[in-house]
Amino acid sequence: MGRPFPLGDWGEPADRLDELYRWVEAGALDTAARYLADRAWKRRGARLLRLGAALGALTGAALPLLDATSTVEGAAPWGYLALLLAVGCVGCDRYFGLTSGWIRDMATAQAVQRRLQVLQFDWASESVREVLGPAEGTASEAAERCLGVLRRFSEDVTELVRSETADWMVEFRSGPAPLGLQAAGSVGGARGEGPVQGRVSLPPHGARPNMPRQRPPEAR
């Protein structure tokens, strides 16, 4: 997000490590807050579309019945229009991905928050080791462990964001097909762990193909 990396002279490693920890923690909090803010307007839009679809379906089902019973004359065309409106609301929700989008944003934000809690406990553990002193290694080894904890956390958060972006791209490109099947097919095909759509998976090298059994010729 364009946040400047904390640079220092490292004359006081403990202060520099604390500054780096706060920088990493602030980045994770900003990421979670961004996903939660993005979830809010998507959820409101999805609920409005769902409400419109429900009202349109109920109205479209009720007006033709009222017209058939002669309770309201000429209500059938309006009922069909209401049904068309309900279908349009559902189609807009699926096309723009509002419902799936806010659910995906919420899941990503919760995953970042859970990973941040793990970081806080790991950092507290490293702080206790530092207090213990020489029994847990030299100061350089302690600094390397702290840097390793921060690096793993940053890589995990980056992977969470990358995974969410990849899911969004798959849904945007492929339309309303099931997202789980699309992601499994695309990831499996890219990594070589599964069959690609339109191709037949070959047997492992050296494996004997299973040939269909043939009936023996009948004795004459």
- 53 lies in a domain? yes
| Opening angle at CA 6, ends 17 and 110, nearest 5 | 75
Q: Is the pTM of this model over 0.85?
A: no
- 44 lies in a domain? yes
Contact between 100 and 171 (Cβ < 8 Å): yes
Return the percentage of the chain with pLDDT > 70, whole number.
Answer: 68
| Domains in the chain, number | 1
- The closest of 85, 88, 100 to 177, measured between CA atoms, is 100
Each residue of 107-165: pLDDT tens digit? 999 999 999 999 999 988 888 877 766 555 677 777 888 889 999 999 999 999 999 88
Token couple for 188: 């499996």
- 218 lies in a domain? no
> Residue 46 belongs to what domain range?
13-181
Contact between 94 and 176 (Cβ < 8 Å): yes
Tell me the pLDDT of the chain averaged across its residues.
76
Each residue of 78-103: pLDDT tens digit? 888 889 999 999 999 988 888 888 99
Please list, in sequence order, all residues whose beta carbon lies within 8 angstroms of the beta carbon of residue 14, skipping any fewer than 6 positions away.
130
Q: What is the pLDDT of residue 78?
A: 84
- 177 lies in a domain? yes
Interior/surface letters 62-92, b for 16+ CB within 10 angstroms, e for the rest = ebbeebeeeebeebbebbeebbebbeebbeb
Coil, helix or strand for 7? coil
